[in-house]
Amino acid sequence: MSSKQLVFTVPDECDGMTARVFLRRRCGVSARILTQLKREKDGILRNGQLLKTIDILRSGDLIVLNLPEDKSEIVPVKGELDILYEDENILAVNKPAFMPVHPTKVHQLDTLANIVSYRQNKTGESFVFRAVNRLDRNTSGIILIAKDKFTSTALSNSVEKTYLAVCEGELEKCGTIDVPIMLSPDSKIKRIADQNGSPAVTHFEPVFSNGTHTLIKLRLETGRTHQIRCHMSYLGYPLAGDDLYGGSLDLINRQALHCGYTSFIHPITEERIEIKSPIPKDFVSAFPWIDEVV
């Protein structure tokens, strides 16, 4: 089976480290991946030669990890992808509203994963679909997809995201909602703010209000299901179009929530990558003033 290579150069400050310490602490390679690589032929190489994790590294050494190729089992379905960023390790796409990210019993052939699988067949790539972040079916915006296990692990819990939303009412001040969230006893879907729930922290910042609605930016410290929707409803400013949490469907037919910005340190190049997604068309149609303030 063919493999995918990850390449690292040992910097001066890591001279004298063992390979294990360098790969785990400096490069962020998980213990599970290292264990797997030890079982692979030529799994870990230094300057073209087999490397043991107990070996001492020298400045300038070229370390190559040959990750076994993993193949997606998701059914490929033809569709359009709005690609915002791509390299050998990461694919970032702008997910439209009403598209699920992963296949489920109800949605098996109409998901983002199906379309990515189709594209893999066209480009000759082969990787398991690993979404670094998740969005509700009706939420639009940036989805990061890791093309290998290492990148998926390295990016988990380290990606900064900013959401744009339109809430009902006139919200004037910035603030933080630090209230636990739990599944409502009366629903299999809806969340409620409750002290018995899991910790959830949402930061919000008003951008512009027309008197009846407010465009806000949001940043999450935690990633609970429906966190923004639940917290804004708890605050008394439900998202427009979010009838599950008290919002009106008069102007838009889905929760007015969009993941518009993300940034992260690339796990291989160590560069800061910033990705932006344009305001969705249904936002502008429902709230024409958005075009003038964003």
Q: Kindly report, residue by residue over 20-71, the tens digit of the pLDDT.
A: 999 998 888 888 889 889 888 889 999 999 999 999 999 999 999 988 777 7
176-218 pLDDT per residue, tens? 999 999 999 999 999 999 999 999 999 999 999 999 999 999 9
pLDDT at residue 137 greater than cutoff 60: yes
Average pLDDT over every residue of 122-131: 89
**Which residue has tokens 């109800």?**
106
**Which residue has tokens 């249904």?**
282
- Residue 283's pLDDT band, with cuts at 50, 70 and 90, is very high
For 90, 97, 178, 204, 216, the CA distances from 175, given in Å and listed in that order, are: 33, 27, 10, 6, 11
Q: How far apart are CA 107 and CA 77, in angstroms?
A: 12
228-273 pLDDT per residue, tens? 999 999 999 999 999 999 999 999 999 999 999 999 999 988 899 9
Q: What is the pLDDT of residue 3?
A: 62
CB pairs under 8 A, 24+ apart, for 184-187? none
- The residues with which 217 forms a beta bridge, in sequence order, are 164, 205
Q: What is the pLDDT of residue 55?
A: 94
Q: Which residues are the active-site residues? A: 136
- Compute the mean pLDDT over every residue in the chain, rounded to the nearest whole number: 93
Burial class (CB in 10 A: 0-12, 13-18, 19+), 189: exposed
Beta-carbon-side half-sphere exposure of residue 220 (alpha carbons within 13 Å): 25
Q: Outline where DSSP puts E strands in the chain.
A: 3-9, 44-46, 49-50, 62-68, 83-86, 90-95, 130-131, 140-146, 160-168, 175-178, 181-183, 191-193, 201-209, 213-220, 257-265, 272-276
Q: pTM of the predicted model, to two decimals?
A: 0.85
For 3, 66, 87, 256, 268, the CA distances from 45, given in Å and listed in that order, are: 13, 8, 23, 49, 16
pLDDT at residue 173 greater than cutoff 50: yes
Percentage above 90 pLDDT, the chain = 79
Beta-carbon-side half-sphere exposure of residue 151 (alpha carbons within 13 Å): 29
Residue 21: partners with Cβ closer than 8 Å, 6 or more residues away: none
Residue 187: partners with Cβ closer than 8 Å, 6 or more residues away: none
CA-closest candidate to residue 235, choices 189, 178, 153:
178
